[in-house]
Amino acid sequence: MLTDPEFLRRLETLFLLTRKVLGGSMRADRRSMKKGSGLNFADYAEYHAGDDYRHVDWNIYGRLEALVVKLYELEEDVTVHFLLDCSPSMETKFLFARQVVAALAYIALSCHDKVCVHAVADRLTPLLPSAHGRGKVFPMLRALEEAPLVGKDTDLSACASEFQRRVKRPGVCVLVSDFFAPAGYAEAVKRLQWGRHDVFFIQTLDPAEMKCDWKGDVEMECCETGARRKVTITAAEVARYAAAVKEWNDGLQRECARRGVGYVQAFSDAPFDRVVEVILRKGGLVA
């Protein structure tokens, strides 16, 4: 359960750990490339008529008799979009994926970032509209807790297109999925990057999916489409499957590296807070 006290305690502990890892106050947070009325000095600019006299640097004028105004970095909040794979293929690791999303969203909310959660399956479905501040922690956790497995397929490309249409403002986009999408993931990466988002992939996997323990005659059923096929699994098939899974995951990792997308692979048998800690240490996602 995502809203029980024990889980909340672990989130709080994780948040404190985050502060220790990143150092200083978690306040404000994300620096913007825009110049504005922030506190941090950014640059000087030539004075033009109409500029605010309060920003004129009189020391410079005293020494150089030139009127220049100080420019400050614009401090603005960003929106962290969590795209949670809710397709039936996530059944065995869905709790783990929601715990990871909850932890990261908790940290984001605690850092005064906006958080938005979307369900990814054969289409994009909003789970949590834009939320801001720690007061939205419980709505966020409830929304994740009640999130159902939906859809008949995992279509990352379609979901990315939908996300691109809905979200115009660049932000941070975290896609949590097993990435077992028959249509692939490359198109999704492209579309998310076109929206100028900071994209981060968290691949959650069930260790049982990495290898095959079945032997002999098996009627295999796709957990998403319900398609069935009677097959005989021998040692050769087991080896080929293991190789195929490895090749698929390696391809994902290579694609992420090539496109500068953050990537973390997490197994559902690991503690979620440990996974979040690794993500924090790698940086780029929070703060």
Closer of 180 and 263 to another protein (Cβ): 180
Q: Which helix (H) or strand (E) element contains residue 92? A: none
Q: How many residues bind another protein (CB under 8 A)?
A: 38
Distance from C-alpha of 70 to C-alpha of 60, rounded to nearest angstrom = 10
Q: Is residue 91 a contact residue for another protein (CB under 8 A)?
A: yes
Q: Which of 89, 161, 177, 203: binder of another protein (CB under 8 A)?
A: 89
What SS3 class is residue 149? coil
Query: Of 141, 264, 146, whose CA–CA distance to 199 is shortest?
Result: 264
Distance from C-alpha of 196 to C-alpha of 198, rounded to nearest angstrom = 7
Q: Which helix (H) or strand (E) element contains residue 195? A: none
Distance of closest approach, residue 86 Cβ to another protein, in angstroms: 13
Distance from C-alpha of 147 to C-alpha of 262, rounded to nearest angstrom = 25
The C-alpha angle with vertex 259 and arms to 89 and 29, in degrees rounded to 5, equals 90
Distance from C-alpha of 204 to C-alpha of 178, rounded to nearest angstrom = 5
Closer of 17 and 233 to another protein (Cβ): 233
Q: Is residue 241 a contact residue for another protein (CB under 8 A)?
A: yes
Q: What sections of 23-155 are H helices per DSSP?
A: 58-64, 94-110, 137-145
Q: Is residue 168 a contact residue for another protein (CB under 8 A)?
A: no
C-alpha distances (whole Å) from 92 to each of 89, 214, 219, 259 are 8, 17, 19, 29
Query: Of 148, 142, 13, 168, whose CA–CA distance to 84 is shortest?
Result: 148
Distance of closest approach, residue 95 Cβ to another protein, in angstroms: 15
Closer of 72 and 241 to another protein (Cβ): 241
- The answer to whether residues 85 and 255 touch, using CB atoms and an 8 Å cutoff, is no
Closer of 240 and 274 to another protein (Cβ): 240
Closer of 142 and 215 to another protein (Cβ): 215
Distance of closest approach, residue 175 Cβ to another protein, in angstroms: 17
Q: Is residue 67 a contact residue for another protein (CB under 8 A)?
A: no
Distance of closest approach, residue 211 Cβ to another protein, in angstroms: 11
Q: Is residue 13 a contact residue for another protein (CB under 8 A)?
A: no
- The answer to whether residues 267 and 207 touch, using CB atoms and an 8 Å cutoff, is yes
* Contact set for another protein, span 175-234 (CB under 8 A): 178, 180, 182, 206, 209, 214-225, 227-234
Closer of 135 and 216 to another protein (Cβ): 216
Closer of 60 and 222 to another protein (Cβ): 222
- The answer to whether residues 31 and 41 touch, using CB atoms and an 8 Å cutoff, is no
> Binding string to another protein for residues 113 to 152, with x set by CB under 8 A, is what?
----------------------------------------
Which residue stretch of 25-33, 123-131, 239-247, 277-285 sits at the interface with another protein (rule: CB under 8 A)?
Answer: 239-247
Residues that bind another protein (CB under 8 A): 88-92, 178, 180, 182, 206, 209, 214-225, 227-235, 237-238, 240-241, 244-245, 248
